[in-house]
Structure 1
Amino acid sequence: MFFVDTIEVAGLGNRSYLAGGQRTAVAVDPPRDIDRVIAAAARRGVRISHVVETHVHNDYVTGGLALARITGAAYLVPAAARVSYERVPVHDGDRREVDTTAGLTLRALATPGHTPHHTSYALEENGTAVAVFTGGSLLIGTVGRPDLVEPRLTEELARAQHASAHRLADELPDDTAVLPTHGFGSFCSSGQAQGESTTIGKEKTSNEALTRDVDGFVAALLAVLDDVPAYYAHMSPANAAGPAPVDLSPPTVADAEEIAARLAAGEWVVDLRNRVAFAEGHVAGSFNFEAEGQLATYLAWLIPWGKPVTLLAESPEQLAAAQRELVRVGIDRPAAAATGEPSDWARRGEALASFPRATFADLAKHHKDGVVVLDVRRDAERAASGHVEGSVHLPVHLLHRRLHEVPRGQVWVHCAGGMRAAIAASLLDAAGRDVVAVDDGFDSAEKAGLPIRRH
């Protein structure tokens, strides 16, 4: 008998896995906060004998090296990946015994496409594949992006994705479970996962990599590639160099005077509370990145790399969860932190800042009053769904560097659902602009009577 436990890394849209038998197990693409993987192994009562990477990751800092060192496990990394640490180089066709009592073996399958060295691993029980860990190769209804390594390689890697998907489909039984790392919200995926689970047989009937000819597939894939988060540029080098262990101990506590001093120094002070609470009252100059949103993705995307960040949280638990999220993308230690409420974080006599929230129906009433409508969705979203006629377009990940391009006047800022609009509103508010955050779904805009222009 074998087991496969899924370790969700929801904030980054990824999954890691622990798979094995009664005594030993393998960890696949582990997150940097490896205590979750160790706890999963303890619950199963197994020893982690192998840690494997499907590729050198572009979207998060791996915990693989630290996990292998702590557990004494063999660290399997594709042989063609250029890394600076000792590991077991994996070649196509290599086999490793995972649990002899359960007859479990791991077989490496070269599946280039997401990266040139990408490798999938088939978990075999007594010689028959029962699951395949596909990393950023064959995902649920889609494939991993081929454009994250080098622009000149994008089309070549897209064609390799097609060939790799067909290799998996041809070599593995239809009932083999497909267990990808990406596809659940990660920008490493070329599309959102179509469901929560799948098999090789299901993908044969639904995945365009397996239902379209290579030219049609490549053309369609290249047409849907979206923006790449800026922090991705730092992830692969960190993973190739060998990430250090994490420190999740509580940060230094900042009082109101220190928070003010850090703001005055141009550092980032990030309020983790939900956007409703932030709009109602916050420390002037602070930015709002909701802890419950895609905190790691958007904060790491927007903040100048290496700039000190102070976190403001409503509770120690919220702060600890945020720290865990951020170490996964290389923001290792907050400069300082505070918990409580805004009145605790502002100096005595200092007024809290606030701004109104609204719906698209509210915007419709003011649309002809000369207000500025700012759309902070990505280019692909705006092209696909249309836009409010006359709106200014600045994706949220570019806004902090281009605030000067927002026209004068009251700014009504929106995205597709409200979270990114709240981030943008906080940036504008901190810059002293008169802002209204539209906290509403974009599908309500046309229903509210706003003129929508489509290309």
Structure 2
Amino acid sequence: MAVEVSVIATSSLGDRSYLASDGQVAIVVDPQRDIDRVTYLAGAEGVRITYVVETHVHNDYVSGGLELARVTGARYLVAAADEVGFDRVPVSDGDVVPVSDGVRLRVIATPGHTFHHLSYVLDEAVDGGWQPVGVFTGGSLLFGTTGRTDLLGGRHAHELAQHQHASAARLADLLPDGTQVWPTHGFGSFCSASQADAPESTIGREKQANPVLRLAAEQFVTETLAGLDAYPAYYAHMGVANTAGPAPVDLTPVTRADPAELRQRIAAGQWVVDLRHRTAYATAHLTGTVSLGLDGPMSTWLGWLIDRGTPITLLAGTPEQVADAQRELVRIGIDRPAAHATGTPEQWTTEPTQLRELRMTDFPALAAVRAGNTPAGPPAPDVVLDVRMTNEWNTGHITGAVHIPLPDLPARLADVPAGTIWVHCGSGYRATAAASLLANTGRHVVVINDTFDQAEAAGLEIVTET
């Protein structure tokens, strides 16, 4: 039977894990911490997991590799050069790992994303020889880009970018053009220098499309480093957890909070997070809560915004949504929320005055106000606040807007000029989170719940930064 590779996508973090099998035994590559998804898939395919492999010590999520190996009895392959606090099978460049009579893995050192990064070539037995089917590239060669090289500190970024270029060239030289490329990052993860430009790829396609294989080393290094934006603050804790050896997860329900407890937690300055869609939040929510809907990358932004260890309470319409949020949070090492409540805002308080609305508008309304028209709607803005990331701002922003990236806002609330604030991002998701933070300080704020690509079409002047 030919080797089959299944993708296990974690879209909220922008990553992929893989299960590759020959119909009997399976390899799992870079598993997320909630390993039940992997074991379910292996069971559905009727295969036994015999190897779990890590391409690198991950920076954007807590790995499930150690626990998956323990549960399944699989051998756990981790770079020999990585000093870790648990038993594993150490592997290095040039090692060949026989998986079954018809499948093997070849280990290739591909430093760049980290110093000890490995890629794994999946070979299939064909006519008495071996033929590469694909290569698991982790944070090395991605679809149209590469993994970022500054996660181990700025002092290493230039050297690692040079390694990244050499590693990509090595893969391109070693492998036939038809070899499939299976990266872990690039699908929204901040571990990627930029985002994937295709849903799938091969070595041959990357030779044509990927800057790392088209640019000279120094040009690649210069352009890559110049294009890097900030990355989530919680990344600082991921490598530490993965090196020490992550504990098993506990996804059992957490304590239910009644209205009195919710009021106390909000009064104490704890994070009470409303997981409903932003339009539902705008209609009615508890004063003092923060909007981070499950329809977006909730865990990424929450993990970036809060101080590590801050108690978190989750509000949602259903228990299933709370369970989904718990699953998202354990992936970044937030293991047990303090409490939860489900239902509607009216059920979360006994004091109607604790309920609040949030006004929403769009870019045509902003253009109309700036043109001197005053259509019925929210009060005109004194401040237009852009909470997108710096790269987004530099690419194009509304003239006269104030820029504070969402991750910086909690520490810079006092920097927002006085008056009514209209806040926007790229879609409305981050803007609503920002608006909730601002409203909690007593500011009068309106969300531009619109996609930024509509701003210029609405008649707003867009300028760029160089």
Q: TM-score range by the shorter chain?
A: over 0.9
For the Cα contact (< 8 Å) 1:68–1:74, is it kept in 2? yes
Whether the aligned pair in 1 keeps the contact of 2:346 and 2:352 (CA below 8 Å) is no
Corresponding pairs, count: 452
Question: Distance between the aligned counterparts of 1:377 and 1:411, measured in 2?
Answer: 15
Secondary structure of 2:286 counterpart: coil
**Alignment equivalent of 2:388, drawn from 377, 383, 393:** 377
What are the residue-to-residue correspondences of 1:6-85 with 2, within 5 Å?
6-85=7-86
Which deviates more, 4-13 or 441-450?
Answer: 441-450
- AA matched with 2:157: T
Alignment partners' CA distance in 1, 2:323 and 2:298: 13
Deviation by residue 1:92-131 (Cα, 9 ceiling, x = unmatched)? 111112222xx10011000000000000000111221111
- Counterpart in 2 of 1:273? 276
Counterpart position of 1:409:
419
User: How far has the Cα of 1:194 moved from its partner?
Assistant: 1.0
Question: Equivalent residues in 2 for 1:197-208 (5 A)?
Answer: 197-208=200-211
C-alpha deviation, 1:347, in angstroms: 2.2
CA separation in 2, counterparts of 1:351 and 1:227? 36
Give the alignment partner of residue 175 of structure 1, picking from 174, 178, 193. Answer: 178
Root-mean-square deviation (CA, aligned residues, Å) is 1.1
Cα offset, 1:366, TM superposition: 3.1
Q: Say if 2:17 and 2:31, in contact at 8 Å, map to a contact too.
A: yes
1:449: Cα distance to partner?
Answer: 2.5
Provide the rounded CA distance (Å) in 2 between the counterparts of 1:278 and 1:340.
13
Q: Give 1:102-117 correspondences, 5 Å limit.
A: 103-117=102-116
Alignment of 1:157-176 (within 5 A): 157-176=160-179
Structure 2 stretches lacking a partner, 5+ long: 373-379
- 1:115-130 matches, cutoff 5 A: 115-126=114-125, 127-130=130-133
TM-score normalised by the chain length of structure 1: 0.97
Deviates more, 1:32-41 or 1:439-448: 439-448
Q: Calculate the TM-score normalised by the size of structure 2.
A: 0.95
Deviation at 1:401, TM superposition (A): 1.4
Match of 1:255 among 251, 254, 258: 258
What is the Cα deviation at residue 211 of structure 1?
Answer: 1.2
Pairing partner for 2:366 from 360, 363, 366: 363
Rounded to whole Å, the distance in 1 between the matches of 2:459 and 2:145 is: 36
CA distance in 2 between counterparts of 1:228 and 1:20 reads 34
Equivalent residues of 1:371, 1:409 under 8 A apart: yes
Q: Secondary structure at the match of 1:11?
A: coil
1:309 aligns with 2:321: no
Q: Following TM superposition, by how much is the alpha carbon of 1:63 offset from its aligned partner in structure 2, in angstroms?
A: 0.3
Deviations 1:181-202 (A, max 9, x none): 0000000001111111001111
Matched to 2:457, the amino acid is: K
Tell me how far apart the structure 2 counterparts of residues 182 and 107 of structure 1 sit (CA, whole Å): 20
CA distance in 1, matches of 2:365, 2:232: 32
Alignment gaps of 5+ in structure 1:
none
Offset of residue 350 of structure 1: 3.5
Q: Please name the residue that 1:137 is paired with.
A: 140
Alignment check: 8 A CA contact 1:134 1:180 kept: yes
CA distance in 2, matches of 1:9, 1:122: 22
In structure 2, relative to structure 1, the CA distance for the partners of 1:370 and 1:199 (3 Å cut) is closer
> How far off is 1:44 after superposition?
1.2
Q: CA deviation at 1:370?
A: 5.8
CA contact (8 A) 1:25 1:99 kept: no
| Partner in structure 2 of residue 192 of structure 1 | 195
Distance in 2, matches of 1:333 and 1:154, equals: 34
Matched, 1:397 2:407: yes
